Structure 1
Amino acid sequence: MAIRRPSQIQIACIPQILKGRDCIGGARTGSGKTIAFAAPILQKLSEDPFGVFAVVMTPTRELALQISEQFAALGASMNLRQAVIVGGMDMIAQALALQKRPHVVIATPGRLADHIRSSGEEAIAGLRRVKFLVMDEADRLLTPGFAEDLEECMNVMAKAKTRQTLLFSATITQSVMQLKESFRHIFVHEVPSNSISIPATLDQTYLFIPTHVREAYLVSLLTLPINEKKSAIVFVNRATTAEVLKRIFRSMDVRVTSLHSQISQRERIDSLGRFRAEAARVLVATDVASRGLDIPVVQMVVNFDIPADPDDYIHRVGRTARAGRTGESIAFVTEHDINRIKAIEERVGKVMTKYELVTESMVIRDSLQQTSNAKREALMDLERENSGSLSKKRRFDGR
């Protein structure tokens, strides 16, 4: 895997996990957290192999698939059996995979909870003896949106006193630290928040623009001669926005793909694969792409929409400037985003500088009319497609 020396979090956590301690591990994105828990789990598995040995919980499907790839690479020499249990895939095939007692189960809470409720004791019996429970991106998993499903999963697993619990995240929130009292003999490794937030090699800038012309500014930004070959992720807050931007860029012959919750799992896998393989230069995505994903080619992150939570901004811009490489982020700030930007700057401890290469006159001259036409056509296409989908549903339902 071309890993020559351990990272800071691996040096700190691996020996403690091998000693049998529970662990809370915090370090910036791209610092090797997956190997920090996967390597000691596989070491312990090799000493006493049985399935299900470990369950890894993660908030997104894409991150679950990426963790699976890491386990497969690390466990290639020991015939590791694993199962990925995420939404958008066939439930029956997953239930059969669970019945075969894989050594490692990597799952999103919602889909694993679905199996616990409906797939029968034979499918979930292996979870009752699990030796390791990992929560990757633990701060996200411990939010109210995952609470019910996570509780359902935890109730069928081996109790805390008979298993090791490992919590890892780029941001260690109060909700994560509150669990410290629940575990035995716990080890905590946390890089101070002012150093984990933003990589030192990241150049943070902003563009202050009117809301109704953001698309034209985005086109001008990504087609500048200095940027036209850079790989970029454009983050938005809504799936509809992602689809509109994707269609605008396609009409302008920009190699683009999208990633959000409203497309099928197969499309999500294909989109991420195209971007990783550099078949697409621009990825337009919601926050499903903001956490944990290792995409080494990202040179620029654009926040087309500013997130409400400063920690979401940290995770988004963490897709670039990874592992010591340089990167840049540009925030599109409208008249509605001032308070959000102030909160972000306070959280990261740094004031953003103005991006000077895109000007109003340039946008009006080069991209405003073409982008406006492309946006109008994109919205009309989406409306037609949505109307067609509704008509099909009505015919199917007999209405």
Structure 2
Amino acid sequence: MAIRRPSQIQIACIPEILKGRDCIGGARTGSGKTVAFAAPILEKFSEDPYGVYALILTPTRELALQISEQFAALGSSMNLKQAVIVGGMDMVTQCIELQKRPHIVIGTPGRLADHIRSSGEEAIAGLRRIKFLVLDEADRLLTPGFAIDLETCMSVATKVKDRQTLLFTATITPAVLQLKDSSKHKVFLHEVQSDSKLSTPDSLSQSYILLPSHVRESYLVSLLSSPANEKKSAIVFVNRTTTADVLRRILRTMDIRVTALHSSISQRERIDSLNRFRAEAARILVATDVASRGLDIPQVQMVVNFDVPADADDYIHRVGRTARAGRAGESISFVTEHDVARIQAIEKRVGKQMDKYDKVKESEVIKNWLQPVSTARREAIMDIEREAAGLVGPKKRKRRQ
């Protein structure tokens, strides 16, 4: 896997997990947290392999699939059997997989809770003997939105006396610390302090473009088409799924290789989009915050915040998709008249001011891109409205996508 030396979080947590201790690990995105829990789990599994050995819960489907890939790579010589239990896939097929007692179960709380409630004891019996329970991106899992489903999942595993519980997160929140305090065991807690203070890596260049909100699309096309960026792979983050769909259509009209990732498309389309981007068949990925946590796509060279996030921590997760593992990266935020306060909050959170991005000139945007992009935007919105009204047949709609 080309891992030559362990990261700080791996150095701190792997020995403690091997000693049998519960663990809370905090480090910024891209610091190797997945290997920090996967490696010791597989080490222990190799000593006593049986049934469902570990349950890993994570907030998003994409992150569950990525964790599965890491386990497959690390456990390639161990005949390791896995099951990925996420929404958007066939329940019956997943139930059969669970009945076969895979060694590692990786899932989202919502779908796993559905199986616990409806798939019968035969499907969930293996979960009652797990040796490891992992909450990845624990700060997000321990929010009210996941509370009911997470409680259902925990109800199956809480009776396991010698189970280890591992929490990994980019942000150690009060909810995470409260779980530590309520534990009957002495929990090992390690937070990578240098990363925590900086929030973002030194190898990340952070800048902004101040622009009117009604011409953001034209600026985006100009930015992605400029000589400095025309060959770069980039993730463009937006706050709404409708914005992602409109941008995907605009960029495709402008002959930019693009794909999209958001919650309004099917699970199969989400997997296909990620695979296209990873294989560099698409140079640009337009995404909502479903892609902001945990995903490791090594070739990402630039992150563009088309919409500035309301939460400064969401900004940190977004820009964490680039400049990973010591590589250089670049983030550019579009700042409209409505976003100044948000940018100031982000700068305060990360402890540094953004630089003004000067490689996109207003005169060039107006001259080269304003009219064609405006036309493409109108056509994109009309196409979406026609499809929503059922005025475009399935074959034609598929070709447009």
Percent identity between matched residues is 76
Give SS of 1:98's match: helix
Matching residue of 2:187: 186
Return the match for 1:296 from 298, 303, 313: 298
* TM alignment of 1:113-262, pairs within 5 A: 113-159=113-159, 161-183=161-183, 184-192=185-193, 194-195=196-197, 197-262=199-264
Q: Is the 8 A contact 1:62 1:269 kept in 2?
A: yes
Deviation digits for residues 152-197 of structure 1 (CA, Å, limit 9, x no counterpart): 1101113475311100011212221121112212111101264451
Matching residue of 2:352: 350
What stretches of structure 1 of length at least 5 have no aligned partner?
A: 393-399
1:390 Cα deviation from its structure 2 partner: 11
Q: Which moved more, 1:41-50 or 1:224-233?
A: 41-50
Cα distance between partner residues in 2 of 1:45 and 1:234: 40
Q: Is the 8 A contact 1:86 1:108 kept in 2?
A: yes
Matching residue of 1:88: 88
Matching residue of 1:321: 323
* TM alignment of 1:43-82, pairs within 5 A: 43-82=43-82
Matching residue of 2:341: 339
Matching residue of 2:270: 268
Aligned residue-pair number:
392
Deviation digits for residues 109-163 of structure 1 (CA, Å, limit 9, x no counterpart): 0100110111111111111111111011111111111111111110111347531
1:81 Cα deviation from its structure 2 partner: 1.1
Q: Is the 8 A contact 1:129 1:158 kept in 2?
A: no
Q: Is the 8 A contact 2:139 2:176 kept in 1?
A: yes
Cα distance between partner residues in 1 of 2:175 and 2:334: 30
Deviation digits for residues 73-122 of structure 1 (CA, Å, limit 9, x no counterpart): 11121111110000011100000011111111000001001101111111
Cα distance between partner residues in 1 of 2:264 and 2:367: 35
Matching residue of 1:375: 377
Q: Which moved more, 1:216-225 or 1:159-168?
A: 159-168
Give SS of 2:201's match: coil
RMSD: 1.5
Q: Is the 8 A contact 1:23 1:167 kept in 2?
A: yes
Give SS of 1:162's match: coil
Q: Is the 8 A contact 1:243 1:258 kept in 2?
A: yes
Q: Is the 8 A contact 1:139 1:175 kept in 2?
A: yes
Q: Is the 8 A contact 2:127 2:156 kept in 1?
A: yes
Cα distance between partner residues in 2 of 1:178 and 1:281: 42
TM-score by length of 2: 0.95
Cα distance between partner residues in 2 of 1:344 and 1:148: 31
Cα distance between partner residues in 2 of 1:365 and 1:197: 39
1:389 Cα deviation from its structure 2 partner: 8.1
1:32 Cα deviation from its structure 2 partner: 1.1
Give SS of 1:204's match: strand
Cα distance between partner residues in 2 of 1:202 and 1:195: 15
Cα distance between partner residues in 2 of 1:123 and 1:84: 14
1:363 Cα deviation from its structure 2 partner: 1.1
| Counterpart amino acid of residue 166 in structure 2 | L
Q: Is the 8 A contact 2:85 2:106 kept in 1?
A: yes
Q: Is the 8 A contact 2:28 2:196 kept in 1?
A: no
Cα distance between partner residues in 2 of 1:338 and 1:146: 32
- The verdict on how the C-alpha distance between 1:389 and 1:110 changes in structure 2, with shifts beyond 3 A counting, is farther
Matching residue of 1:360: 362
Cα distance between partner residues in 1 of 2:123 and 2:137: 26
| Counterpart amino acid of residue 112 in structure 1 | L
TM-score by length of 1: 0.96
Q: Is the 8 A contact 1:127 1:158 kept in 2?
A: no
Matching residue of 1:112: 112
Give SS of 2:265's match: coil
Give SS of 1:3's match: coil
Matching residue of 2:398: none
1:353 Cα deviation from its structure 2 partner: 1.2
Give SS of 1:78's match: coil
Cα distance between partner residues in 2 of 1:182 and 1:273: 41
1:338 Cα deviation from its structure 2 partner: 1.6
Matching residue of 1:397: none
| Counterpart amino acid of residue 51 in structure 1 | G
Give SS of 2:389's match: helix
Q: Is the 8 A contact 1:194 1:349 kept in 2?
A: no
Matching residue of 1:101: 101
Runs of 4+ residues over 6 Å off in structure 1: 389-392
Cα distance between partner residues in 1 of 2:254 and 2:40: 49
1:209 Cα deviation from its structure 2 partner: 1.1
What stretches of structure 2 of length at least 5 have no aligned partner?
A: 395-401
- The verdict on how the C-alpha distance between 1:111 and 1:39 changes in structure 2, with shifts beyond 3 A counting, is same
Q: Is the 8 A contact 2:8 2:192 kept in 1?
A: no
Give SS of 1:72's match: helix
Cα distance between partner residues in 1 of 2:244 and 2:112: 28
Give SS of 2:333's match: strand
Cα distance between partner residues in 1 of 2:45 and 2:175: 30
Matching residue of 1:395: none
Matching residue of 1:307: 309
Q: Which moved more, 1:373-382 or 1:182-191?
A: 182-191
